[in-house]
Amino acid sequence: MLTLYGFGRVNSKVVGFTRDLRVLWALEELGLPYQVHGVDHPSGELRGDAFLRMNPFAQVPVLDDNGFVLTESAAILLYLAEKTGRLIPSELEGRAQVTRWCFAALSSVELPLSQLLMVDLLGASDPTGAQRRPGLVKYSERVLGALEDWLGSRAYLVGEAFTVADILMATVLREVRNAGVLEGFPKVSAYRVRCESRPAWQRTLDAYEQRLGVPAGSTR
């Protein structure tokens, strides 16, 4: 049985932005049977010995596949894709392109976007935030412009098929959905809508909202 360690309780500010969503989405896409261990973050479960043995960084997501434990959202997604032969092309070069775009999503693109998200979430409690924000917007726009060019007439990052790289990229883009930076990039915005309109993503959010006890639709 697959067990995904995701949040069961977490600070309300970050609900809808957490990285367990990436794995939950992939599991829904693949239709694999799985259970969720809802981690209680406020009670310090991530810092407990049992959790630290699985992930020294004390973070979710963690996947346990019948005793095989894996952390890091991109590694988990690639593992699930390789395990099932789905959400990834079968030939070596196509698989390498998917790996490339997983790295691009989590390094090149997420780097400024996640910092912008943090500035916005922390608000006035981070006195340096207002100063740093314009630079982060500029940096975000630079990477979003590159993504806009790459998408061009492509439906997804690696050609016409939806892959695990799209799950990562779409969830990274969501981090700035309220920041006002996506509006200038129509292809990126349309791509995000295309990814997020998948039924598996809707099922993922429905179950997530229920588990975390937040109103239905509030994380969209």
38 binds ligand GSH (CB under 6 A): no
What is the distance between the alpha carbons of residues 111 and 86, in angstroms, rounded to a whole number? Answer: 28
Q: How far is the CB of 97 from ligand GSH (least distance, A)?
A: 20
Q: How far is the CB of 22 from ligand GSH (least distance, A)?
A: 7
Stretch binding ligand GSH (CB under 6 A), from 26-34, 53-61, 191-199, 204-212: 53-61
Q: How far is the CB of 115 from ligand GSH (least distance, A)?
A: 13
> Using CB atoms, what's the residue nearest to ligand GSH?
59
Residues β-bridged to residue 38: 6
Q: How far is the CB of 56 from ligand GSH (least distance, A)?
A: 12
Binding mask 129-168 for ligand GSH (x = CB under 6 A): ----------------------------------------
Footprint (CB under 6 A) of ligand GSH, residues 6-25: 18-19
Footprint (CB under 6 A) of ligand GSH, residues 73-132: 73
User: Could you write out the three-class secondary structure of the chain?
Assistant: CEEEEEEEECCHHHCCCCCHHHHHHHHHHHCCCEEEEEEECCCCHHHCHHHHHHCCCCCCCEEEECCEEEECHHHHHHHHHHHHCCCCCCCHHHHHHHHHHHHHHHHHHHHHHHHHHHHHHHHHHCCCHHHHHHHHHHHHHHHHHHHHHHHCCCCECCECCCCHHHHHHHHHHHCCCCCCCCCCCHHHHHHHHHHHCCHHHHHHHHHHHHHHCCCCCCCC
Binding mask 58-77 for ligand GSH (x = CB under 6 A): xxxx----------xx----
Stretch binding ligand GSH (CB under 6 A), from 55-63, 122-130, 142-150, 203-211: 55-63
Q: How far is the CB of 184 from ligand GSH (least distance, A)?
A: 26
What is the distance between the alpha carbons of residues 141 and 185, in angstroms, rounded to a whole number? Answer: 9
Query: Under the rule (CB under 6 A), what is the footprint of ligand GSH?
Result: 18-19, 46, 58-61, 72-73
